[in-house]
Every structure is written in C-alpha cells, then in structure tokens.
Amino acid sequence: MTRVEIQRRKRQARRNLIIAWTVLLAAELAISAIPAALAAAVLLPMALARRGGWAFGAEWLIIAAAFCLTFYAVHNTVCDKLTEEGKAR
C-alpha cells in the first residue's frame, strides 16, 4: 500500500467519524426537541388566551428548560453507552 493510499484511507476514516458525530448530535437535538414542542403546544396557547396577546413570560423558560433537561439526559445516556463500549474493547 502506498503512502497516498494510506493518507486517503485516513482522510476517509476521519470524514466518516465526523459524519457519525454529526448524525449523533442531530439525533440528540431532534429527540430533545420533542418535549419542548409538546410544552410549547400546551403552554403558548394558554398564555396567549390568558394575556390576550403575545409576550415573553415564564412559559418560554419552561419550554427552554424542557429542551435543556431532555438534552442533558439524552446526551449523558449516549455518552455512557459509548464509554461502556469503549471499555469493553
């Protein structure tokens, strides 16, 4: 195997790793958006009806907290699984 082929394989492996991490992050973000969207679907119409107009209130904080807490839980679970797999090898 020539030096050029070795470099090409290393670049391809690096590219594949970047794609895998990007897909993993996108999946984590998509999973975390589900509870935030559900909270928004419930809280925003309630706040609109109560205030009679749009405003920036506590419902936005609850929506952001739902996203952040879900992302934290999902990310820790994924990282724990990846760490366990790394130790098994």
Tell me, what's the pLDDT at 13? 93
- For residue range 40-88, what is the model confidence (pLDDT) as tens digits? 999 999 988 888 887 788 899 999 999 999 999 999 999 899 888 777 6
The CA-atom distances, in angstroms, between 28 and each of 3, 5, 34, 68 are: 38, 35, 10, 11
Q: The tokens of 19 are what?
A: 């794609």
| Predicted local confidence at residue 89, as pLDDT | 55
pLDDT, one tens digit per residue, over 11-27 is: 999 999 999 999 999 99
Q: Smallest Cα–Cα separation from 39: which of 62, 10, 6?
A: 62
| pLDDT given for residue 77 in this prediction | 94
pTM here is 0.78
Say which DSSP state 1 is in: -
pLDDT of the residue at 54? 79
Q: Could you give the 3-state DSSP secondary structure of residue 68?
A: helix
Contact 75, 28 (CB under 8 A): yes
Contact 56, 76 (CB under 8 A): no
Domains of the chain: which residue ranges?
3-88
